[in-house]
A = this chain, B = another copy of it.
Amino acid sequence: MNRITTLFGIQYPIIQAGMVWCSGWRLAAAVSNAGGLGIIGAGSLHPDNLREHIRKCKAATDKPFAVNFPLFYPQLDEIMHIAVEEGVKIAFTSAGNPKTWTGWLKERGVTVVHVVSSAKFARKCEEAGVDAIVAEGFEAGGHNGREETTTFCLLPAVRQATTLPLIAAGGIATGEGILAARVLGAEGAQVGTRFALTHESSASQAFKDYCFGIGEGDTKLHLRKLSPVRLIKGGFMDAVSKAEDAGASAEELQALLGKGRAKKGIFEGDLEEGELEIGQIASIINHQQSAAEVMQDLVDGYHKALEKMQGGH
């Protein structure tokens, strides 16, 4: 029991990250049923689909779960209202200003967690009245902070800056990783990549299989002139990399990116034309499990790592 488990009413301080095209109701419910906090990622759901996913999640688990709202979502107002109507009790907000929605959500009884990539934004979260923060390092997959600060450096900086309950994210896929994050000041861990590659993730099998084969150096941060994203090597990343090396402008990169590429890559499994996103830690993940197996492994691994340290000096 710590501030994170108490805040969410969950058994283990392990949160499954909200991830586009991976984390629908099936994954979220499986994680929540296994004692963690499952999150439905609204970023890749149309408003009507979000309502459906929330309803299915409620039917599949009586445990707490959350919805993640990327604050650049076009119909943000609409999906916020849907979430409140459907009785969502925990909201993770990301990629925007925590002041915009925190008050509105808290007035409606929703617990608010905001994702930050710097100590400066952690302080803004405190001012905005959020209940907890996720500090996400450079190694994380997908959209990423401009500071490029790694989990190892970000956690102590954020821990110094605020007393808010702190969840670590970026590079965490094992029990050892959760313990290391705790040593660096976190009270809980958000795990993305490992859950993105479970049976319950809605990513295509081709995408999952591709991720099991990647090694270190196979993901890189790109599209800094737009909004930084960690991509996986492949046709689209090659094209982006080449364009960036040649000095492509933000407009040119936007044209290259086009629309619907993440769906094509992650959900439809087009490894050449699609935008493929995963965290660096995928390099140590090489087989598919269920979300419950992952949860068990994280909890067991954490306790084993802790015992090992307790045997040390």
| Contact surface of A with B, Cβ cutoff 8 Å | 118-120, 137-139, 145-154, 156-157, 160, 170-172, 174, 176-177, 179-185, 215-217, 220-221, 225, 245-248, 279-281, 283-284, 305-306, 309-310, 312-313
Contact = CB atoms under 8 A, between A and B. Distances in A.
A125 B177 CA distance: 25
Contact of A283 (B153, B246, B284): B153
Contact of A157 (B118, B147, B216): B216
A139 B152 contact: yes
B152 A151 contact: yes
Contacts of A305: 183
A183 B172 contact: no
A141 to B, nearest CB: 11
A139 B179 CA distance: 20
A183 B309 contact: yes
A206 to B, nearest CB: 24
A132 to B, nearest CB: 19
Contacts of A148: 217, 220-221
Contact of A171 (B153, B177, B215, B279): B153
Contact of A152 (B157, B172, B179, B185): B172
A131 to B, nearest CB: 22
Contacts of A281: 152-153, 156
A293 B240 CA distance: 47
A149 B118 contact: no
A13 to B, nearest CB: 11
Nearest to A246: B247
Given A216-B157, A245-B247, A309-B306, A280 B180 contact: no
A198 to B, nearest CB: 19
Contacts of A246: 247
Most buried by B among A180, A181, A247, A283: A180
